[in-house]
Chain A
Amino acid sequence: MLSKAAFVLASAALAVIVASFAYEVVMRYFFNAPTRWASDLVSFLLLSAVFLAAPWLTREGGHVSITLLPDLLPEAWSRRIVAAGFLAAAAVCLWAGWIVAGEVRILYARGTMTLSAVPAPKWWFTALILFGFVNSALYFLRLAFGTQGERIPSEARNA
């Protein structure tokens, strides 16, 4: 549910990116009044969108993978290998999340701001990265131990 909401936010962020650029172009060209914020806002929206969307993408089995080995092996083995891959992915995401969490704490404690025309606390964005990794890790675990054996989300099901 949380992931779905985050994904909807990510899609909205993409819409705001389009709107910000359009606003900047119109204001600059027609009114000679460029904004101070459009350029940075777009950058931060891109980061937010990517990591907000990541958990839902994982849930849907949507990440790109190279299924060279699983394709060559018999069904049962292929399933085990893919599950092991998901387990490893979960571990990596947790590891990454743990590291990023440490950075969030440091940035928060120092009150580090972003280097942008309109500054914002940098930990906001690293916290979003944390959200993306930890939630993805949980979904990878679910995929690895998924009860629904036939539901191995192959890349063919990308939406």
Chain B
Amino acid sequence: ETLRVLTSWDQSFPTVSQVLTAFTDHLEENVEDLDMPVSGPETIPPFEQFDPVSRGLFDVLFTIGSYHYNSLGIGMALDTLKGDLDDWREAGILDYVDQEYQKRGMKLLAILVDPGGYQVVLKEPLTGDALAGRKIRGTPSYHAALNNLGASPVVLPGSEIYPALERGTVDGAAWPIIGTVAFRWYEVADYIMRPSFGQSTYLVLVNLDTWNGLDEETRQQIETAAHDFEPTASDIFRGIVDGEVETLKENGMQETELTEDQAAALQQGWFVGQMDLAATVSPDEVARLRELAEEAGLTY
């Protein structure tokens, strides 16, 4: 059996070269006659991938929810929750998310969680008044969080972050911790803001027709292998994040700390901003997800 995998990032990202590769290796080892060749954003650009995979152009999609929240927002809402995969499973959240993805032609096979989450890279250290008066580049996901710290969020394409930091067009940029090394922002900025916030939930989605076309036993094997891999993925992610932060420090970056109150405001803003954004397109689904999460005490 061959399952063609599409990822939203190229091989220069450790998320692909280390985590996804380990995932496909693990499945190929534990499922008989399974082959999972991987293609990247050179075939289909990241923000356009959900639709072609749900229509069978590829069999598996490795991505994050915010890249397709215009189709379904609850994948992205997962980034904001407290707790871990077991808590979410117990609260019935994962079953619900899977059910909604299936309505759109995709089966949720696995969630690979990067507990490291997100950070803000800064040109200048914090001085006590959080990010007041600073211009920080961020996608709309970050806007509420940045506003809570007094910053002005700036919308810029990803490729312009490096020159914008270099020339001081922006004072900082918000991004997952993983990526700061690949983008070499340490060449043009000196500080990483702490604490980091949120967690990144990477989704492994399978085209539903492909999935239903597999025989019962193969499906069982794939599901078990994928499920077994989930904790390993978080371990790999922790290792990557530690390594990246170390690399950043070796290249002269320093941590700069928010106060406890500011950190709470940041976390709160991240939760509200991401949830609200997810709800703009999928209001009912996100409301249901929030309900399930609130019942289990997993919201901020």
Contacts and interface: CB of A to CB of B under 8 A. Distances in A.
Interface string A13-45: 000000000000000100011111011100000
A117 B67 CA distance: 13
Contact of A39 (B69, B71, B133, B156): B156
B154 interface: yes
A114 B71 CA distance: 9
Interface of A: 28, 32-36, 38-40, 110, 112-115, 117, 119, 122
Contact of B281 (A38, A40, A117, A119): A119
Contacts of A117: 139-140, 143, 155
A28 B47 contact: no
B113 to A, nearest CB: 23
Given A32-B135, A40-B155, A113-B280, 10 more contacts: A28-B152, A32-B133, A33-B152, A34-B153, A34-B154, A36-B140, A39-B155, A39-B157, A115-B68, A117-B155
Nearest to B160: A39
A119 B279 CA distance: 12
A87 to B, nearest CB: 31
A34 B70 contact: no
Given A28-B135, A36-B140, A36-B143, A115 B152 contact: no
A113 B135 contact: no
Interface in B232-249: none
Contact of A34 (B47, B68, B135, B139): B135
Nearest to A43: B157
A32 B47 CA distance: 29
Contacts of A34: 135, 152-155
A115 B135 CA distance: 22
Contacts of B71: 110, 112
Interface string B257-289: 000000000000000000000001100000000
A50 B156 CA distance: 22
Contacts of A115: 47, 67-70
Nearest to B70: A113
B155 A38 contact: yes
A55 to B, nearest CB: 26
Contacts of B152: 28, 32-34
A109 B155 CA distance: 29
